[in-house]
Amino acid sequence: MTHSFHSTILREYDIRGIVGETLFAEDARAIGRAFGTRVRRNGGSVVCVGWDGRLSSPEMAEAVTKGLVEAGCSVRSIGRGPTPMLYYAAKARDADGGIMITGSHNPPNHNGFKMVLAGRPFFGPDIQGLGAMASAGDFESGAGHVVEDRVFDEYVARLAQDYDGARDLKVVWDCGNGATGEVLAELVKRLPGTHRVLYGEIDGRFPNHHPDPTEPHNLVALQDTVLAEGAHLGIAFDGDGDRIGVVDGEGRILWGDQILVILAEDLLKTLPGATIIADVKASKVFFDEVARLGGKPVMGRTGHSLIKTQMAEIKAPLAGEMSGHIFFADRYYGFDDALYAAVRLLGIVARWDRETLAHRRDRLPHMVNTPEMRFDCPDTRKFAVVAEVKARLEAAGATFNAIDGVRVDTADGWWLLRASNTQAVLVARCEAASAHGLKQLRLALEAQLAASGVTPPV
């Protein structure tokens, strides 16, 4: 048996495609058999499988499971839920691997697969290796089997276990009809205070709004409800529950790096001097605040698999990305779990005597920044453009960090240019202390793009 995948679906951090166009059930079966082969050759045999609420996910899960069984694996089927529930099951059961069927925050007709192997993220060359294995038909064979292992109640209890608030809060939650709905319904029963859940019914058509909390228009219903009900804060999740969005009691959005500062401030009280990672897109405010609080801020590459790997390598207890992935290795397992991050955040806010989340947000230094700017650049050209910019910066003696693209520091602030690992785009961002400074940074960025023959973003 050999199998070829569509050229677009094997990506840097996961496998993802359009159902019925670039991704089919037979692809899922081949993924299961190839991944099962990797597990077997790695000395293991037990693989946990879970799936989100997309309409195509049950079929994809059945096909993945069939492939795993054909490779001789023992499959623990954990059922429908968020991606971190699959990560939890793999940890709690000491499984040799795990596959989550999820399209994350992509449109309803998309789906995909996130994987872990031997407790570590499975990405990059590992994913490309599955394609080579399938193309060659280089599969193990065996007679595996399937058992149901519903970890749902256990996972909910584990989430609630670390809540440590001291007063009741009024909280609004927005599941966006994504995979967190059923878990959250049980979780809020275990948390004190008053809880209002929006769009908690799992519906893979996402009829109310798209489940991506990094897009402000997806948070409007949450903001309106927080204000209407006088809630202390609101929390939103993406489609598979590994990314969080937060609004304060005044309905204002807190971005990923702002959430991370608040979590870091609390963690550093019990782990003074701890190393805390943020990705290269994070504000200078994060790095300055963590240092001011006595921690060691570290800049990491963007990408949840890369952050998790770096966390394990340097033993950081906390990390996060601008996209809302938050990773706790303090009292937890080091993977991105937005439900767990929410529990920890609520505990912090509920221990403040005289401060609200809005007050804490206002105490953060104010910066002026662009949104994340993404613009088309061919895969064959995007990394070359970044390399050309880096060479010119080096020749000019500029101050920059090249851990992930180039992040350039100037008297006005900083600007970033990096190539996306998953799309044919370049990504840019600028941040300054003033509007004038931001304009100067934009001009510098645009000059570098123009020098490489790239039309700057509008």
Q: How many CB atoms sit inside 10 A of residue 306's CB? A: 21
Identify the pLDDT of residue 190: 98
Q: For this structure, is 77 an active site residue?
A: no
One of 104, 283, 305, 323 is an active-site residue; which one? Answer: 104
Q: What's the pLDDT at 48?
A: 98
Examine the domain organization and report whether 174 and 85 are in the same domain.
no
Residues 6+ apart with CB under 8 A from 50: 61, 77, 78, 79, 80, 81, 83, 85, 86, 89, 98, 99, 100, 101
92 and 122 fall within a common domain: yes
Q: Which residues contact 353 (CB under 8 A, 6 or more apart)?
A: none
The amino acid sitting at 95 is A
Question: Could you give the 3-state DSSP secondary structure of residue 389?
Answer: helix
Same domain, 203 and 57: no
Provide the pLDDT for residue 368: 95
Tell whether 1 is covered by a domain: no
Q: Quick check: 141 and 133 in contact, CB under 8 A?
A: no
Residue 9 predicted with pLDDT over 90:
yes
What does the pLDDT read at residue 379? 84
Q: Decide if 305 is inside a domain.
A: yes
Q: pLDDT tens digit string along 156-182?
A: 999 999 999 999 999 999 999 999 999
pLDDT, tens only, 255-288: 999 999 999 999 999 999 999 999 999 999 999 9
Q: Residue 456 pLDDT > 80, yes or no?
A: no
Q: Furthest-apart CA pair in the chain: how many Å?
A: 67
Residue at 457 is within a domain: no
CATH number at residue 207: 3.40.120.10
Mean pLDDT of 276-303: 96
DSSP 367: -
Domain boundary among 96, 115, 150: 150
Count Cβ atoms within 10 A of the Cβ of residue 12 and give its class: 0-12 exposed, 13-18 middle, 19 or more buried: middle
Residues 341 and 381 in one domain: no
Q: Tell me the CA end-to-end span of the chain in Å, nearest whole number.
A: 49
Q: What percent of the chain has pLDDT over 90?
A: 92
Nearest 5°: phi and psi at 317? -85, -10
Given a cut of 90, whether residue 376 has pLDDT beyond it is: no
Q: Which helix (H) or strand (E) holds 408?
A: strand 406-409
User: Is the pLDDT assigned to residue 252 strictly greater than 90?
Assistant: yes
What pLDDT shows up at residue 374? 85
Cβ-count burial of 43 within 10 angstroms (0-12 exposed, 13-18 middle, 19+ buried)? exposed
List pLDDT tens digits, range 103-142: 998 899 999 999 999 999 999 999 999 999 999 999 999 9
Instruction: Tell whether 353 and 224 lie within a shared domain.
Output: yes
Residue in the block written with tokens 């590459």: 301
Asked if the model's pLDDT at residue 403 lies above 70, the reply is yes
Same domain, 447 and 309: no
pLDDT value at residue 457: 64
Structure tokens that stand for 394 in this block: 């080096």
Is it the case that residue 241 has pLDDT exceeding 90? Answer: yes
Element holding 245 (H helix, E strand): strand 244-248
Q: Identify any residues that bridge with 327 across adjacent strands, giving them in sequence order.
A: 319, 336
Q: What angle do CA 172, 175, 178 make, to 5 degrees?
A: 175
125-139 b/e (C-beta count within 10 Å ≥ 16 → b):
eebebbbebbeeeeb
Three-state secondary structure string covering 235-257: EEECCCCCCEEEEECCCCEECHH
Could you tell me the pTM of the whole model?
0.95
User: 130 and 70 in one domain?
Assistant: yes
Query: Is a pLDDT exceeding 90 seen at residue 458?
Result: no
* Together in a domain, 355 and 396: no
pLDDT, tens digit, 9 for 90 and up, residues 56-83: 999 999 999 999 999 999 999 999 999 9
Structure-token pair, residue 238: 């993406």
Same domain, 290 and 230: yes
139 lies in some domain: yes
Q: Are 210 and 105 in contact (CB under 8 A)?
A: yes
Angle at 136 between CA 132 and CA 138, to 5 degrees: 95
Average pLDDT of the chain, as a whole number: 96
The answer to whether 328 and 88 are in contact (CB under 8 A) is: no
Last residue of a domain, one of 333, 348, 363: 363
pLDDT (mean) for 394-417: 96
Query: What's the domain count of the chain?
Result: 3
pLDDT tens per residue across span 121-130:
999 999 999 9
Q: Which of 102, 124, 150 represents a domain boundary (last residue)?
A: 150
Structural domain span for residue 413: 368-451
The predicted pLDDT at position 424 comes to 83
Q: Please report the pLDDT score of residue 380 as a whole number.
A: 87
One domain, residues 164 and 252: yes
Q: Picking from 159-163, 196-200, 301-305, which range would have the lowest pLDDT averaged per residue?
A: 301-305
Averaged over 9-31, what is the pLDDT?
95
DSSP readout, 307-326?
A: HHHHHHHHT-SEEE-TTS-E
Same-domain pairing of 48 and 83: yes
Collapse the DSSP code of 395 into the 3-class scheme (helix H, G, I; strand E, B; otherwise coil) and give the result. helix
Q: Structure tokens of 328? A: 């706790």
Same domain, 267 and 399: no
